[in-house]
Structure 1
Amino acid sequence: MDFSENFLHFIWQFQLYKTLDLFCVDGERLRILNPGISNKNAGPDFNRAKLSIGGITWIGDVEIHIKSSDWLLHGHQKDPAYDSVILHVVYQYDLPVYRKDGSVLPVLVLEKLFPEQLLDHYDQLINSINKFPCEKQIREINSVVINGFLSRMMVERLEQKSAQVFDKLARLAGDWEATFYYFMAKSFGFKVNEIPFELLVSALPLQVLRKHLNNALQVEALLFGQAGFLSGSFKDEYPRKLKKEYLFLQKKYGLKPIGPGAWKFLRMRPQNFPTLRLAQFCGLMIKSDRLFSRMLDIEHLPDLVKLLENLQVNPYWLSHYHFRKETKKVRLQLGTRSVHHLIINAICVFLFSYGKYVDQPQFISRAINLLEQMPAENNAIIGWYRASGIVVDNAFFSQALLQLNKYYCAQKKCLNCGIGIKILNK
């Protein structure tokens, strides 16, 4: 039966092996006083372990492998970081390993020290063909355990997204408004057109757009022009005006538009066409200068929803999904689900990031509270967990499940998951 070193890490960390009458390969008695702290960085697998070997107490590191010969295979004999290893833990012993001074490194063999069914349970999880590894077993786990780990997932997700915010913030010389402009536009892409929106706002810096926020036509000209939608000729007066304004502003600022081929229209409902999303983004920019500062001042969810539901979208889009074809009446404003998407993926992330950056926990708490007040997202992945009995009451838990699925379930990292560990322990 195949398994990874991570499985042995799990066995060692939680001491799921026979702990009495342990002996090293050379016959010396072994007592585990402390298995050590799992090391996620380079170097030995567990640090600061405390062991008694042959009646002598040792404090140092523990390295874990499937076979003892893996020590040489991984080149540890050449790495001084492994000089502090006091015990080599393996599943199978096939070769002795020597320290630099010529002494043999003590070895503990785990092969017959833990219950066979534990390995069977692990194999069932990792090699399952379910929608996620513990789809059939998760009902057995107490909801307190599940919700506790999901809370950790939500924080982990916000931490990851904050790292992206801080990276962009550094690239934009600490300008929070410009950074928020970038991420808000990215969220307006609603995944399918996320990259083109990123390219657009990278090609149109906020400091240029900000000079024209008091002129709606120029804002629309800059954004649609830089998006590549104003090339060619038009029969309608509105796009002709936009093109005229854009050509002047393009020359003034030396702007280069992105290619219109980057935008995706296929297999999309017209209401989600990037042209309409861009018109709505224009409406948001026209409505509020210093948008990030304004978001910081809004404390209540209904006020945020109101801001995003009442955008100043040009009435041309009441009868168009793009510039060259008229259609039946179109809904100009964002729907409730779209508004919640923007709050979840941009505003909450920035509240959390800003609170962490300036060490003001009230913004972190506000981000969490907003997520708890919004309904859970509804997609196929969330549906899998709901069908398995997980209660998903709000966006806090739906976001946490997306994090769990992407970074744990999809990668079958059950041994790094609090839920997976609980199932294996059972």
Structure 2
Amino acid sequence: MKEDFLHYIWKFKKFDILDLKTAQNEPILIIKTGEYLELSGPDFFNAQLKIGNQKWAGNIEIHLKSSDWYLHNHEKDPAYENVILHVVWENDTPIYRKDNTEIPVLVLKEYVSKEIIENYNALVSPKTWISCEKQIKEINGFVFKNWQERLFFERLERKSEFVYQLLEEMNQDWEAVLFCLLAKNFGLNTNGNSFLQIAKSLSFSVVRKESFEVESLESLFLGTAGLLDAEKEDLYFKDLKFKYFFLLHKYQLEKKHIDPILFFKLRPDNFPTIRLSQLAALYHKHQNLFSKIISIKTVQNVYELFNVSASSYWHNHYQFDKESTKKGKSLSKSFLDLVIINTVIPIQFAYSNVMGESIAEDLIDLMHETTSEKNAITDKFDSFGIKSKNAFESQSLLELKNEYCNHKACLKCAIGLELLK
């Protein structure tokens, strides 16, 4: 038994309310259960009750045992002076106010059905991947779809916090924010933080000025990454290194620490040399990329906008000094789907919020068009009969697992609440 279960019972009146009595044997009439704010202080604010012949307005505090009042030092906290009812599962000691009047107590276990307790225990007790894995497929489709939408926007709200943070760091320059997000995305999980450091260490004004020459951008990105620090015989390497040092002197750029760039365990198409060259090609092709990103409505728009390739040198190289079979290095559709999920959607959402606009339906439509991610979490849900047909659904499932299931927050989850019914 946990307190959040008692909160759920009180909030939704999941107990027999017709003949309630306090532990002191006074009748209780619930007029208003109060507002559940989940803040410091009493659990429910502004409740209204009738106890005996007296009408009360104030707060409700809920504990497993009444003695928890003293365990949590509420007797010393002025925030609890306006508690009008102490709701507990077990009443093991009387609680008094400062004026020595006893706080009325409601013992919930005397009014809760065995069925709801059994449902709760069945939901939270099993040591399984998720508590509801045997029942989740049975959830009403309307409830599940509404919850998916809520989960999707909760995830988007959290992702947008990083965008707002970047916006502060970049002095409200949305183009610079987009550059940072794209750089992080191009680095994927392995080099994402290093690529972000590269983007942050370069003034975006320099990127703007040098975007008319793709080799200048490539030398700038590879040089900042530390990938031009060695000595090699390769002529293209030498050319890029010369340009990089010229740009360092031209703009008085300070060489900053960048976390090591990794090649280990990456597929060759994801090598940092290839991704940084592709990023340079993108900014060479589009000098006003942000305005184009904001106006994107379809997946096809993204594929067309990001139709770029690493420079010709990389068609038969993955690393300097090591020639490979000739192959074009354009951005794949699967990679661009990740760009939509992790860059396009979050920056569109954040920008619309700052501008006071609502584009929720447009974002949902775009995510429905985007291919679902394939990972261990979506595969596991698939085994329970919950298939993600698109990125909207896969993002919702990731949020469900990471923010609810992993924390056993079944009583804050629409699926858990539905099963408890």
Per the TM superposition, whether the score is higher than 0.5 is: yes
1:196 aligned to 178, 194, 197, which one?
Answer: 194
Which residue in the other structure is 1:256 paired with?
Answer: 255
Does residue 325 (structure 1) correspond to residue 322 (structure 2)? The answer is yes
Normalising by structure 1, report the TM-score. Answer: 0.94
Q: Given that residues 274 and 310 in structure 2 are in contact (C-alpha distance below 8 angstroms), is that contact kept between their aligned partners in structure 1?
A: no
Shift of 1:365: 3.3
Shift of 1:141: 1.2
For residues 170 and 305 of structure 1, the distance between their equivalents in structure 2, rounded to whole angstroms, comes to 30
Shift of 1:57: 1.8
Does residue 420 (structure 1) correspond to residue 416 (structure 2)? The answer is yes
Residues 146 and 299 of structure 1, relative CA distance in 2, 3 Å threshold: closer
Shift of 1:277: 1.6
Which residue in the other structure is 2:123 paired with?
Answer: 125
Which residue in the other structure is 2:159 paired with?
Answer: 161
For residues 123 and 319 of structure 1, the distance between their equivalents in structure 2, rounded to whole angstroms, comes to 61
Which residue in the other structure is 1:141 paired with?
Answer: 139
Which residue in the other structure is 1:370 paired with?
Answer: 366
For residues 333 and 374 of structure 1, the distance between their equivalents in structure 2, rounded to whole angstroms, comes to 19
Which residue in the other structure is 1:246 paired with?
Answer: 244
For residues 41 and 275 of structure 1, the distance between their equivalents in structure 2, rounded to whole angstroms, comes to 49
Which residue in the other structure is 1:405 paired with?
Answer: 401
Listed as ranges, the gaps of 5+ residues in structure 2 are none
Does residue 39 (structure 1) correspond to residue 37 (structure 2)? The answer is yes
Does residue 351 (structure 1) correspond to residue 382 (structure 2)? The answer is no
1:73 aligned to 66, 71, 86, which one?
Answer: 71
Q: Given that residues 378 and 387 in structure 2 are in contact (C-alpha distance below 8 angstroms), is that contact kept between their aligned partners in structure 1?
A: no
Which residue in the other structure is 2:224 paired with?
Answer: 226
Does residue 335 (structure 1) correspond to residue 332 (structure 2)? The answer is yes
Does residue 18 (structure 1) correspond to residue 16 (structure 2)? The answer is yes
Shift of 1:415: 0.7
Residues 331 and 19 of structure 1, relative CA distance in 2, 3 Å threshold: farther
1:360 aligned to 342, 357, 360, which one?
Answer: 357
2:310 aligned to 308, 313, 317, which one?
Answer: 313
Normalising by structure 2, report the TM-score. Answer: 0.95
Listed as ranges, the gaps of 5+ residues in structure 1 are none
Residues 262 and 66 of structure 1, relative CA distance in 2, 3 Å threshold: farther
Which residue in the other structure is 2:50 paired with?
Answer: 52
Q: Could you list the per-position Cα deviations for residues 153-191 of structure 1 after superposition, in whole angstroms to 9, with x for gaps in the alignment?
A: 111111222222122212222111111111121111222
Which residue in the other structure is 2:61 paired with?
Answer: 63
Percent identical among aligned pairs is 39
Does residue 300 (structure 1) correspond to residue 301 (structure 2)? The answer is no
Moved more, 239-248 or 328-337: 328-337
Q: Given that residues 154 and 399 in structure 1 are in contact (C-alpha distance below 8 angstroms), is that contact kept between their aligned partners in structure 2?
A: yes
Q: Given that residues 355 and 364 in structure 1 are in contact (C-alpha distance below 8 angstroms), is that contact kept between their aligned partners in structure 2?
A: no
Q: Could you list the per-position Cα deviations for residues 352-373 of structure 1 after superposition, in whole angstroms to 9, with x for gaps in the alignment?
A: 1111110122x44332221121
Q: Given that residues 50 and 56 in structure 2 are in contact (C-alpha distance below 8 angstroms), is that contact kept between their aligned partners in structure 1?
A: yes
- Report the residue type matching 1:321 in the other structure: Y
- Report the residue type matching 1:404 in the other structure: L
Residues 160 and 244 of structure 1, relative CA distance in 2, 3 Å threshold: same
2:96 aligned to 95, 98, 105, which one?
Answer: 98
Shift of 1:391: 4.1
- Report the residue type matching 1:18 in the other structure: D
Residues 313 and 271 of structure 1, relative CA distance in 2, 3 Å threshold: closer
Shift of 1:248: 2.1
- Report how many residues are paired: 420
1:110 aligned to 104, 108, 111, which one?
Answer: 108
Q: Secondary structure at the match of 1:89?
A: strand
For residues 121 and 264 of structure 1, the distance between their equivalents in structure 2, rounded to whole angstroms, comes to 49
Q: Could you list the per-position Cα deviations for residues 341-397 of structure 1 after superposition, in whole angstroms to 9, with x for gaps in the alignment?
A: 101111111111111110122x44332221121222222211222222224232111
Q: Secondary structure at the match of 2:110?
A: coil
Shift of 1:330: 3.9
- Report the residue type matching 1:372 in the other structure: H
Q: Secondary structure at the match of 2:356?
A: coil
